[in-house]
Structure 1
Amino acid sequence: MTEISLVRGDITDQTVDAIVNAANSSLLGGGGVDGAIHRRGGPEILAACRALRASDYPDGLPAGQAVATTAGALSARWVIHTVGPVFSAREDRSALLASCYRESLRVADELGVESIAFPAISMGVYRWPIEDGARLALETVRSTPSKVTEIRFVLFDPAAHQAFAARL
């Protein structure tokens, strides 16, 4: 049975097997969670992302997919990078957001991960409504078969923590 928990704080402080990065498609760092993970994890993460860009993802990682790299100096073994969709009121992109969580768990299973920390993917600069994002995140991880035994949502923002807590 998988345990799902919520933590209010900084995802880069988590001691887990894998930390999920809400990356941008370039995989080369950015703002928010992505920038924090790259800064705290150090140059090994960027080097691994550059290698992925040079080989498997010359055009970047598409939204909804996930790929793993070293975690560098973080207290994790792996960083699983996934690109969330930008919210659109005109186009339903919820399947892409759900795919971020599902694909991250698939990669985690391939790596033998037992514990994983997720951020609130797409709910920051990509403007996904927090309540809907929390619903999608929790429904997806609950319904995705996985060998991961601990799923931790690490939420920096009090409103995100409240939205996830209401759904948990």
Structure 2
Amino acid sequence: MSSTEVLNVPDSELSSEEIIARNLKVVEAHFHNETPETVDKALELYGPDIVWEAPARGMVYTDPAEVKEAYLGIFRTVRYHRLTTLRRFATEQFVFDDQIGDVTIIGDEMPNLPYGPGTRLNARVSHCFEMKDGKIVREIVYELFREAGSAVDNDDIPADAQVQVFP
């Protein structure tokens, strides 16, 4: 099957390799559409019973409308300067993604964010996506906020890490 053909096929009809490739493609598309202009496309990749969690901030959302509002709040709170993808890999059921965001806090619409506007951070953000039939059914985002240049702002960045710089 081509990659387009496997998008709407149940996992049970695909090989392990096809499921893994699809899961990685779905998560890549999700991240690509995490913008104010295309967030609805990112949300279309969720299953009907989505659970979205940010444990460090104590946030759990199960209503797609609340997930969208949470994303819009993030967009109004965080300005990205650079995003470094350290690693991403998948199994038939999960995708793990590990990134560092060089960001400035510009708003106050992320509940329980421990930093205020004007703070420059290096945010280590690891995602665990649970996948089923080509949809994200659970997204857990582990956010580790560290002030840029502080004693805890220290990471081992692989030589092949992908860096995206934002204007």
Which structure shows the bigger proportion of residues in helix conformation? 1
Computing the radius of gyration from Cα coordinates, the structure with the larger value is 2
TM-score normalised by the chain length of structure 2: 0.26
Which structure shows the bigger proportion of residues in strand conformation? 2
- 1 or 2 for the larger relative contact order (CA 8 Å, sep ≥6)? 1
